[in-house]
Amino acid sequence: MSGAPGAGKSTIAKLLGQSIGGLVIDHDVLRSTLLESDLEFGAAAKHAYQLQWALAQDVMKQGLSVIIDSTCNFQVVLDRGSELAKNHE
């Protein structure tokens, strides 16, 4: 799930997650939690992406669907998500 901040991604992600019985991973929650541990913003953002990929992969290995709620501002983020999904079809 990608889009501009405030576009309604989180609302749609939660509704979609409920309708398919999937798990929503909110990138903002991960990043905010890491920022509370006194990491600088850049490091927190980097670690939040690493965590979201690790969590998504683990959840999919358990046979569940995953929705990653993130702005996905970088092509590499979209590519990584697409690759992860392809590997778990």
Local mean pLDDT, 10-residue blocks, the chain (89 residues): 80 94 94 92 92 95 92 85 85
Residue 37, pLDDT score = 92
Residue 73, pLDDT score = 78
Residue 1, pLDDT score = 67
| Integer CA distances (angstroms), 74 to 19, 35, 43, 67, 70, in order | 28, 21, 16, 17, 11
Distance CA 42, CA 55 (A): 20
Residue 61, pLDDT score = 93
User: Which of 6, 41, 43, 44 has the alpha carbon at shortest distance from 69?
Assistant: 6
Residue 8, pLDDT score = 86
Structural contact between residues 44 and 35, judged by C-beta atoms closer than 8 angstroms = yes
Structural contact between residues 84 and 52, judged by C-beta atoms closer than 8 angstroms = no
Structure tokens at 20: 């398919």
